[in-house]
Chains A and B, each alone.
Chain A
Amino acid sequence: MTIVEKILARACGQEHVNVGDVVVCEVDMTVLIDLQFATMWEPPTRIADPDRLAVVMDHAVPAPSVKDADGGVKARAFVREFGVARFFDVGRHGICHQVIAENGLARPGEILTCTDSHTCAGGAYNTAARGLGPLEVYSIMCTGETWFQVAPTIRYDLVGEKPKVLSGKDIFLYVAATYGDATNHNLEFGGPGLESVPMNDRRTIATQGAEVSADFTTFPADEVCRAFLDAHTDRPYEAAEPDPDADYAAVRQVDLSVLEPFVGRPGRVGNNAVPVSQIERRKVDQCFIGSCANGQLEDLRIAAEMLRGNRVAPGVRLIVTPASQAVYIDALRSGYLEILAEAGAVVTNSTCGACFGYHMGLLAAGEVCITASTRNFKGRMGSPDAEIYMASPYTVAAAAIAGRIVDPREVTAG
Chain B
Amino acid sequence: MNDVIEGRVWLFGDSVDTDNMYPGFAMRLPVEEAAKHVFYDLRPGWTDEVEPGDIVVAGKNFGIGSSRPVAQLFKQLGVAAVVAEEFNSLFFRNSINFGLPAVSIPGVAATIHDQDRARLDIREATIERLHDGALLRGTPIPDFVFDIVSGGGLLAKLAADGFLPGRITGTAGAGS
Contact = CB atoms under 8 A, between A and B. Distances in A.
B165 interface: yes
A223 interface: no
A147 interface: yes
Contact of A133 (B93, B145, B163, B168): B93
A205 to B, nearest CB: 17
A322 interface: no
Interface string B95-112: 001100000000000000
Interface in A10-67: 22, 24, 35, 39-40, 42-46, 65, 67
B27 A133 contact: no
Nearest to B104: A184
Contact of A213 (B23, B61, B167, B174): B61
B27 A35 contact: yes
A40 B64 contact: no
B115 interface: no
Interface in A345-393: 356-358, 375, 377-380, 384
Interface stretch (B3-11, B14-22, B49-57, B127-135): B14-22
B24 interface: yes
Given A35-B27, A142-B163, A356-B24, A378 B41 contact: yes
B90 A142 contact: no
B93 to A, nearest CB: 6
Interface in A119-145: 130-136, 138-139, 142-143
B145 A213 contact: no
A135 B99 CA distance: 11
A181 B165 contact: no
Contacts of A116: 67
B174 to A, nearest CB: 5
Nearest to A133: B94
Q: How large is the interface on B (under 10, 10 to 19, 20 to 34, 35 or more residues)?
A: 35 or more
B144 A22 contact: yes
Contacts of A384: 23, 40-41
Nearest to B92: A184
A184 B154 contact: no
A7 B67 CA distance: 23
Contact of A375 (B65, B144, B155): B65
Given A22-B142, A133-B69, A357-B24, A40 B174 contact: yes
Contacts of A135: 69, 94, 97-98, 153-155, 173, 175
A270 interface: yes
Contacts of A134: 67, 69
Contact of B89 (A65, A67, A115, A151): A151
Contacts of A378: 17, 19-20, 41
Contact of B164 (A42, A115, A270): A42
A188 interface: no
A45 B164 contact: yes
Interface string A269-296: 0100000000000000000000000000
Contacts of A170: none
A147 B97 CA distance: 12
A184 B86 contact: yes
22 contacts: A22-B142, A42-B164, A44-B165, A45-B163, A45-B165, A117-B65, A132-B90, A133-B69, A133-B90, A135-B98, A135-B173, A138-B158, A181-B15, A181-B61, A183-B60, A183-B88, A215-B89, A356-B66, A375-B19, A378-B17, A378-B20, A379-B40
Given A44-B165, A183-B64, A358-B24, 4 more contacts: A134-B67, A215-B89, A270-B15, A378-B19
In order of increasing CB-CB distance, the 3 nearest A-B pairs are: A133-B94, A357-B24, A384-B41
